[in-house]
Chains A and B, each alone.
Chain A
Amino acid sequence: MIRLDKVVKKYLIGSKELLALNYLDLKLEENCFVAIVGVSGCGKSTLLNVIAGYDDIDYGSYYFRDENVNKFSEEKKLELIKSIGVIFQDFNLLDYLTVKENILLATRYMKGKNDLQQIIFKLDIADILNKYPNQLSGGQKQRVAIARCLITNKKIILADEPTGSLDNENALKIMEIFEKLNNEGISIVIVTHDINIATRCKKIIRMENGRVVN
């Protein structure tokens, strides 16, 4: 479903070039459940941003469902962004909207709306629907972010350290949800430092200096 060929992402630091992604090859299958691990600064977040369509690459090619993303027009790029759900550690919800409004925010820019009641039930957020993000715990916030991915039928969810600021119990709860979603056919890619989290995934991808190593 997702294929990266010799992808390079450069950053200029002063006059020095830093290859955040260093001729990286990667293949992600339909309905995968992958953990990406690696030391800090090895390029995990950069990789997620590229996959999500947020960032352009400097070299190589990115195929999404066998289409070359490099050659995408603005509209197709937008379609790509819309078809991928991204969950960050703490950068998901708008503070001035309630939980319910935050979830429905996604339907504003995308057609097709899933049954809200079902999602609320699945993620166990019925009692916080009318609260504001600053009234929520970290685990609740992440569940709301996941709910927002589900309301518009995303087939892939990328998560950049979704459990980074959660305690063990909450982290496991999030992982359970991911497992459930994966069983329903949604591909899930998680960036994490936590080996306990990584081992619960079906596959672990290790990164070093902007490359995938095995």
Chain B
Amino acid sequence: MWLIKEVFYQRKRHYLTITAICISIILVLLVNIISGYIIDNVNYSFEQLGLNINCIQLLKNRKDNWIDFIIEDCRIEKYSRYNKKQERDYKIIGCDSDLSQVFTFEFESGSFLNKTSNMYNDNQVVIGNKLKHYFNCYQIDESININGITFRVVGILKKESRNLYEEFDDCIFVFNDYVTDYNHCGLYFVSESRFDDRYLNEFLGKDNYLFVDQSQTKESLNSLLKLIRNVLMVLSFVSVGIAIISLVNNTLNNIYTRMKEIGIKKALGASSKDIYIQFILENMIIFLIGILISLIVVFSVVKVINISLKNKIAIDLSDNVKYIVLILTAGSICNIYPAKKASEITIIETIKNREFS
């Protein structure tokens, strides 16, 4: 109780150090929380896209049933064939109905191509959102004309619908059967583990295909984000170091301006240990005040940021507590030296130096 009061009495002395400590702790916590949030969110987005979707795209046409071979040899269960035809104002993607199992599409209205329905003979298409205007077709079950063939629109995708590889706003999905001119022919498939592309090299020839692996993309993006996060963490810990140095320096300087205090206390019977403990605890209280203010600031900043976020940032206290404890310990350890110096001051020194205090 005495101690808190004394720290408070001498608060002017501590303003700057507390500010420095606050800034550095706020930096550490915010970097940790926000970078954690970004990394989580990226991973979450990947998961939403579907786990480990891989894409093999043929760069040279082949005559054989290469897709079937790969599916069989690699025991791929979830997959979809697709062909892509490039047009001026829209892309035609020929696919099978399994594509909706590999990707999750979001629909404004309607649903995906349905091979098992009675209407199979009906020419079905799903169109991207932009093409509503292009074809003047704003509802499902309306008909549109593509290259002289009439199709029935069974689904309109949501605006900005996309997966990792494509934006779908200007895409038309039709069944493979209707695509005659195959420039590119490819396979989307889901694999739990990382797909080994050595087999593809052997089978398709190294330069004849393009392979995109989502887990690979995810990993490289993740490692990049983690690198950025680590660099920022190191920088914020450097600022913590500077704050601690300034606190230690401040305490060391204070020893001489506080000689009178130390002398009077010792003359009243305070032992060196009492003084030592006082300095250590005082330093801790300063840190605790700093931590408290930092926490308040961090919580409010996160709250403010959260207003504009769809996925709210959640603060994982247990994760941040370890940093706080680390900072507190480092600060206390660094303060042992000045505290020891302060406790070693003798009454006689303070009496002789009283002109200065």
Q: Which residues of A contact B (CB under 8 A)?
A: 49, 52, 54-55, 74, 78, 81-82, 86, 88, 91-94, 96-97, 101, 105-106, 108-110, 148, 152
Given contacts A91-B354, A96-B10, contact A110 B348 (CB under 8 A): no
Contacts of A97 in B (CB 8 A): 9
**In whole angstroms, how far apart are the Cα atoms of A73 and B148 in the complex?**
109
**In whole angstroms, how far apart are the Cα atoms of A39 and B10 in the complex?**
40
What 1/0 flags go to B237-260 for Cβ under 8 Å of A? 000000000000000000000001
**Which one of A52, A55, A109 contacts B265 once the chains associate, using CB atoms below 8 Å?**
A109
Closest CB of chain A to B277's CB: distance in Å?
12
Given contacts A91-B354, A96-B9, A97-B9, contact A54 B269 (CB under 8 A): no
> Quick check: A81 and B266 within 8 Å, CB to CB?
yes
Closest CB of chain B to A18's CB: distance in Å?
14
> Quick check: A49 and B269 within 8 Å, CB to CB?
no
> Quick check: B268 and A105 within 8 Å, CB to CB?
yes
> Quick check: A91 and B9 within 8 Å, CB to CB?
no
Tell me if B347 counts as interface (CB < 8 A to partner A).
yes
Closest CB of chain B to A204's CB: distance in Å?
24
Within 8 A of A (CB), among B55-109: none
Closest to B11 in A: A96
> Quick check: A109 and B351 within 8 Å, CB to CB?
no
> Quick check: A78 and B268 within 8 Å, CB to CB?
no
Tell me if B300 counts as interface (CB < 8 A to partner A).
no
Could you write out 14 A-B pairs with CB less than 8 Å apart? A55-B348, A74-B271, A78-B269, A81-B269, A81-B347, A82-B268, A88-B351, A91-B263, A91-B264, A94-B261, A97-B9, A105-B264, A105-B268, A106-B268
Tell me if B142 counts as interface (CB < 8 A to partner A).
no
**In whole angstroms, how far apart are the Cα atoms of A97 and B265 in the complex?**
12
Tell me if B167 counts as interface (CB < 8 A to partner A).
no
Closest CB of chain B to A191's CB: distance in Å?
13
Given contacts A94-B260, A97-B9, A106-B268, contact A54 B274 (CB under 8 A): no
Majority SS at the chain B contact face: helix
> Quick check: A49 and B274 within 8 Å, CB to CB?
no
Tell me if B267 counts as interface (CB < 8 A to partner A).
yes
Tell me if B16 counts as interface (CB < 8 A to partner A).
no
Contacts of B270 in A (CB 8 A): 108-109
> Quick check: B264 and A94 within 8 Å, CB to CB?
yes
A-B contact count (CB 8 A): 56
Within 8 A of A (CB), among B302-353: 346-348, 351
Closest to A53 in B: B347
> Quick check: B260 and A108 within 8 Å, CB to CB?
no
**In whole angstroms, how far apart are the Cα atoms of A94 and B348 in the complex?**
17
Contacts of A86 in B (CB 8 A): 267
**In whole angstroms, how far apart are the Cα atoms of A82 and B269 in the complex?**
5
Contacts of B134 in A (CB 8 A): none
Contacts of A105 in B (CB 8 A): 264-265, 268
Contacts of A152 in B (CB 8 A): 268-269
Tell me if B165 counts as interface (CB < 8 A to partner A).
no
Given contacts A91-B354, A96-B10, contact A148 B268 (CB under 8 A): yes
> Quick check: B264 and A92 within 8 Å, CB to CB?
yes
> Quick check: A91 and B2 within 8 Å, CB to CB?
no
> Quick check: B9 and A106 within 8 Å, CB to CB?
no
**In whole angstroms, how far apart are the Cα atoms of A54 and B263 in the complex?**
10
Contacts of B266 in A (CB 8 A): 81
Given contacts A91-B351, A96-B9, contact A108 B267 (CB under 8 A): no
Closest CB of chain A to B102's CB: distance in Å?
72
What 1/0 flags go to B1-25 for Cβ under 8 Å of A? 0100110011000000000000000
Using A96-B6, A108-B268 as known contacts, list a sample of 15 further A-B pairs with CB atoms less than 8 Å apart, ordered by residue number in A. Answer: A54-B267, A78-B269, A81-B266, A81-B267, A88-B351, A94-B260, A94-B261, A97-B9, A105-B264, A105-B265, A106-B269, A108-B2, A109-B269, A109-B271, A148-B268
Contacts of B271 in A (CB 8 A): 74, 78, 109
> Quick check: B347 and A54 within 8 Å, CB to CB?
yes
Contacts of B354 in A (CB 8 A): 88, 91
Q: Which of A92, A93, A96 has the most CB of B within 10 A?
A: A96
Closest to A95 in B: B260
**In whole angstroms, how far apart are the Cα atoms of A148 and B268 in the complex?**
9
Contacts of B348 in A (CB 8 A): 49, 54-55
